[in-house]
Amino acid sequence: MSSAIKLLLPGLLLLNMSVLAQTKKIYHKGWIDFNKNAVKDVYEDQGETIERRLDNLISLMTMEEKTMQLVTLYGYGRVATDELPTEGWKQELWKDGLANIDEASNGVSDKAQYTFPYSKHVWALNTIQEFFIEETRLGIPVEFTNEGIRGLNHVKSTSFPAQIGMGSTWNPELLYKVGQVIGKEAYALGYNNIYSPVLDVARDQRWGRIVESFGEDPFLVSEYGVQISKGIQEQGVVNTLKHFAVYSAPKGGRDGYVRVDPHITWRDMHQMYLYPFKRAIQETDIMGVMSSYNDYDGEPITGSHYFLTELLREDYGFKGYVVSDSEALAYLHYQHHVVDSYKEAVKLAITAGLNVRTTFNPPDKFINPLRELVREGAISQELLNKRVREVLHVKFKEGLFDQPYKEEKLADKVVKNDAHKALSLQASRESMVLLKNKDNTLPLDENALKSVLVCGPTAKATASSISRYGALKTNVISGYEGIVDRLKGKVDVVFSEGIDIKDENWPDSEIFEVPLNQKESEMIADAVAKAEKTDAIILFVGEEKEMVGENLSRTDLNLPGHQRKLLTALSKTGKPLIVVLINGHPLTVNYADRQADAVLEAWFPGEYGGQAIAEIIFGDYNPGGHLPVTFIKSVGQIPHNFPYKPNSQAGQAKDGPNGTGKSRIVTELYPFGHGLSYTTFKYSNLSIENNLSTDSGVLTVSFEVENTGDTAGDVVPQLYINDEVSSITVYKWQLRGFKRIHLKPNEKASVSFTLKPEALELMDINREFVVEMGVFHMAIGDSSTDFQLKGTFEITD
């Protein structure tokens, strides 16, 4: 294909005239002759139903062609040895087609040449698509897949904060817009299916991939998951949820190769970990699910008929296809040991409900044993057809059989345009959480300052805001850069690194004390000396990208290395001390809470994170984020999170013969839902209108909230429900509504939440979801522990 794509016929993008001479006979107005027989077959007829097109296509396919629709080829530099089609492709397995190509020239591999400019990438994908349409017997288009959890995983696409940061926005409408951007950029760049969002509920603060989670509460995660999915899908792109199922509860919070043995109950699994997947599938048009590596109660998910068929398809109503997460299929053999060979693992997974094997090795590793199983009858033609049909159904839904090529010039106009960059900045602003603000230390008054010290090992950090699963090679504004730019010509900015982010013995130093060496002592002394000559200290501490993420769980959650010693030394100067956290785990920052005047949680804040931090510190933007996870005081408190069962996180007995209650710290550092503001809010006029029965009606909760301060700001009213008496023990309080609202000084807003019976469901003794009669309590406030309004209602029938 040449460098230009032209719209030559209505509704169909065609190759330019240099190749049209050889191919024009298959391209017609309103249809493509994929099998090149000069007849409009049913599967080529855009006026036919998808079901009839599927019936026809599958009837024409050979066993070789069917099996190739069940495997992924990773793009050039990952598995594929060619970035564009070659003559050799006609002898490769994919001469019979492919399910998809993942990460095709997206930039994860530095070898790829066709990542940028954007139009060049679209040209490359069109060229690959041309091979599958014109050089394979049935012309079945290939699907292009890619990651996209914090922006599209492509060079110079729009970058967003880490998912844990976006979880801190408490703004599903913002996440809907983020989904739109991911979908628009994916569509423009030629991708069809985006692996996003992560719907894993992160309940263990040590878990490495907590940075990729929206938080610890299933309702909060669900609200985000539904909205970001809708945003992606509305752009003509399908999305694949990950990681199904129970992936985020590994034993001991471990990550990496120890993704097994989650110690959670059946009810917790359904009510906590599966709830977001169920809601996203039932409330949006989900066409993809990624099966996870782990097992549940000894049953590996990727080999489980219960999880992949009974639950996912029959109960939730999923209509798309299931793709394996990397080595999940192989793990059936060499990690879980439930089969004695890789071939048997293939049989188990396909029988269970897996459709497409995706991992970082050539397709033949999977295809050869799959074909043996089909020839031997171990996998029936009926089952093979079913799995292939589920994949092809998605391709028809994507429009690949109607308009397989994308317009090149569109990408240059869409990707990372001004509107998308503005949304990225807003996401960074809204993701930040003010954890402490003693005596209104923040915002700092620049007019009262002559100089400030910007200090700490994460002050100039940028790499942590670039994700393997998000935008690549983008220019990140560090906190230091943001402050320098904000104060340019007004206040002198002095810098000192202060300390390295970790010491030479880390992570061993997490469990034993390591003294400062001479260099480290000199670094801290330099910071203190500079601090004493300035008017305020802005200290950046936290983690680097190598400390949190996939394969990166932690043993301890304190600040790594000697950062705490730097913090303590600076606190003794008596200067206003503002701590900014750049991190992925919710850290046990007890010393920061006690010694600093203000603490701002910025997470890994994205491309415009430094600008947003500076705007908040100097009062251009009033922070309104709230925590989506509990900040504990010690890893010894784990598990300690929200929601929780009654008294499960309470104190110990102080009276009686068996205890004094002085052996354990039981309170968290910052609770779920916590977040401060530069202004104050007042709640009033609670009204409850109850028309609920156990299976119908609605509950309407209304109230007013007023900004009682002198600064405009965002308030996040949170609605919590408690079932007074139930047939089984349920969580003490459950989040069932929230909304982020911007209010000017003295402005008042009327707020209402509407609940249906399913918001009060529990899984009863028969493991069925039911709503029971009885008295329910409700509370509205600024966090899971700060309730401003309370009420009661009852279900009587």
Distance of CA 56 to the CA centre of its chain: 38
How far is residue 447 from each of residues 187, 486, 491, 535, 549, measured CA to CA in Å?
A: 47, 13, 8, 11, 40
Separation of alpha carbons 620 and 640, rounded Å? 35
Q: Which of 217, 325, 503, 714 is catalytic?
A: 325
Q: Token pair 């908040």 is at which residue?
A: 616
How many Å apart are CA 702 and CA 452, to the nearest integer?
46
- Alpha helix ranges (H) inside 624-779: none
Q: Give the C-alpha separation, 707 to 678, whole Å.
A: 11
Sort strands 288-291 and 741-743 into parallel, antiparallel or unpaired.
Answer: unpaired
Is residue 739 within 8 A of residue 174, CB to CB? The reply is no
H-state helical runs in 360-400: 364-376, 381-398
The enclosing H or E element of 331 equals helix 328-334
Beta strands in 274-366, from DSSP E residues, in sequence order: 288-291, 295-296, 299-300, 321-324
Q: Max alpha carbon distance in the chain (Å)?
A: 94
Measuring CA to CA, which residue among 19, 9, 210, 25 is closest to residue 627? 210
459 prior amide bond cis, ω within 30: no
Distances (CA, A) of 107 to 152, 230, 416, 515, 628: 11, 26, 16, 42, 31
Q: Has 297 been annotated as catalytic?
A: no
At 251, the amino acid letter reads K
Q: Percentage helix, strand, coil, to 5, in the chain?
A: 35, 20, 45
Distance from C-alpha of 291 to C-alpha of 666, rounded to nearest angstrom: 36
| C-alpha gyration radius of the chain | 28
Of 676, 179, 279, nearest to 442 (Cα)? Answer: 676
Query: Cβ distance 213 to 248 under 8 Å?
Result: yes
**Residue type at position 105:** S
Return the exposure string of 171-205: e unless at least 16 CB atoms fall within 10 Å of the residue's CB, then b.
bbebbbbbbbbbbbbbbbbbbbbbbbbbbbbbbbb
Phi-psi category of residue 173: left, alpha or beta, with phi > 0 → left and psi -120 to 50 → alpha: alpha
Q: How far apart are CA 375 and CA 383, in angstroms?
A: 13
Burial call 124-151: b when 16+ CB within 10 Å, e when fewer: bbbbbbbbbbbebbbbbbbbbbbbbbbb
The per-residue DSSP string of 515-549 comes to ---HHHHHHHHHHHHHHTTSSEEEEEEE--GGGSB
Token couple for 211: 């940075």
Residue 768 and residue 707 in contact, taking contact as beta carbons nearer than 8 Å: no
At residue 57's C-alpha, the angle toward residues 391 and 54, to 5°, is 55
* Termini Cα distance of the chain: 67
Active site members = 325
